[in-house]
Amino acid sequence: MRFDIVTLFPDSFISVLSSGLLSKALAKKIAEINLVNPRDFTTDKHRKVDDEPYGGGVGMLMKPEPIFKAVESLPILPRREIILMSPQGQTINQPLLRELVTNYDQLIVICGHYEGVDERVQHLVTREVSLGDFVLTGGEIPAMALINGVMRLIPGTVGKAESLQSESFEEGLLDYPQYTRPANFRGWKVPDVLLSGNHAAIAKWRYQQQVARTRLRRPDLLKEQGT
């Protein structure tokens, strides 16, 4: 999968993409990341990418021309989505990540800044995506979250593909509690069932824990399932 990131701060992605599973996925060419700076598509000596909003208001808006030119400079793969990171967009969740990794070969991610982008950029994008109901200084952090979530679902990124099937949100439930050695740490013991070797009992316990944890922490997920 190809990711094209349109950002005023390309250096902010370097550390994130140079460590952990993402770095390994890029090295194995499972995914490709291309960073594009809209400033490179300006025509004035100051490389200006923002301007005052018509009608007045606080702050500055990103101009449409550099964004359009940046996106139009990119190759066009048959299955591509042009995403604007915006507080007004669809909230990132696991079904969205699975939709993107399944249906697209190219994700162009535009990181907004200042007070937002010129509304005419809507004629360019095919989807708006949000990290949640809050506002950040720019779209870079939400874009990193989106890229991370999508890339780890690409076959070959995570060593054991089956581990992806038992995570939080994959079945509409939060994950179950997990333990490792030692079996007794400062008086906190691993539940006996996990030491029993009875795989059917362990599976039942884990499911019960998922339901209980979801009911306690995210009852909205159970309502969505009609549970």
On whether residue 161 sits in a domain, the answer given is no
60-96: per-residue pLDDT in tens? 999 999 999 999 999 999 999 999 999 999 999 999 9
CA angle (49 as vertex; 5, 105 as ends), nearest 5: 20
pLDDT of residue 83: 98
Identify whether 69 is part of a domain: yes
Q: What's the mean pLDDT when you consider all of the chain?
A: 92
Residues 104 and 134 in one domain: yes
Question: Above 90 in pLDDT, residue 121?
Answer: yes
Q: 194: domain range? A: 167-224
**What pLDDT, on a 0 to 100 scale, did the predictor assign at position 105?**
98
- pLDDT for the residue 158: 86
Closest to 83 measured CA to CA, from 11, 3, 23: 3
Considering the domain architecture, whether residues 201 and 101 belong to the same structural domain is answered as: no
Q: 85 CB contacts (<8 Å, ≥6 apart)?
A: 109, 110, 111, 112, 128, 129, 130, 131, 139, 142, 143, 146
179 in a domain, yes or no? yes
Residue 91 to residue 87: CA distance in whole angstroms: 8
Tell me the per-residue pLDDT of 176-185, one tens digit each, with 9 for 90 and over: 999 999 999 9
pLDDT of 129-142, one tens digit each?
Answer: 999 999 999 999 99
CA gap 222, 219 in Å, rounded: 5
Beta strand extents in the chain (DSSP E only)? 2-6, 32-36, 50-51, 61-62, 80-91, 106-111, 127-130, 184-185, 188-189
pLDDT at 159 over 70: no
Residue 112, pLDDT score: 93
Asked if 13 and 148 count as a contact pair (C-beta separation under 8 A), the reply is no
DSSP annotation of 131? S
**203 and 112 share one domain:** no
Distances, alpha carbon 129 to alpha carbons 57, 90, 109, 189, in Å: 24, 5, 9, 42
Q: Tell whether 68 and 8 lie within a shared domain.
A: yes
What one-character DSSP code corresponds to residue 138? B
What tens digit of pLDDT does each residue of 188-215 get?
Answer: 999 999 999 999 999 999 999 999 999 9
pLDDT at 120 over 80: yes
With cut-offs at 50, 70 and 90, classify the pLDDT of residue 162: low
Q: Same structural domain for residues 120 and 197?
A: no
Distance CA 194, CA 208 (A): 13
* 18 and 120, same domain (yes or no): yes
Residues 103 and 213 in one domain: no
147 and 193 in a single domain? The answer is no
Overall domain count for the chain:
2
Q: Are residues 90 and 117 in the same domain?
A: yes
Domain end point (choices 120, 151, 182) = 151
- 160 pLDDT tier (thresholds 50, 70, 90): low
| Residue 169 reports pLDDT greater than 80 | no
Whether 170 has a pLDDT exceeding 80, the answer reads no
Predicted pLDDT of residue 166: 53
Contact residues for 215 (Cβ-Cβ < 8 A; gap 6+): 222
C-alpha to C-alpha distance for 49 and 29, rounded to whole angstroms: 32
With a pLDDT cut of 70, the percent of the chain lying above it is 93
Decide if pLDDT at 114 tops 90.
no
pLDDT in tens, 27-47: 999 999 999 999 999 999 999
Looking up residue 7, the CATH number of its domain turns out to be 3.40.1280.10
How far is residue 3 from each of residues 31, 112, 157, 196, 197, measured CA to CA in Å?
8, 16, 15, 45, 44
| CATH code where residue 195 lies | 1.10.1270.20
Beta carbons of 200 and 188 less than 8 angstroms apart: no
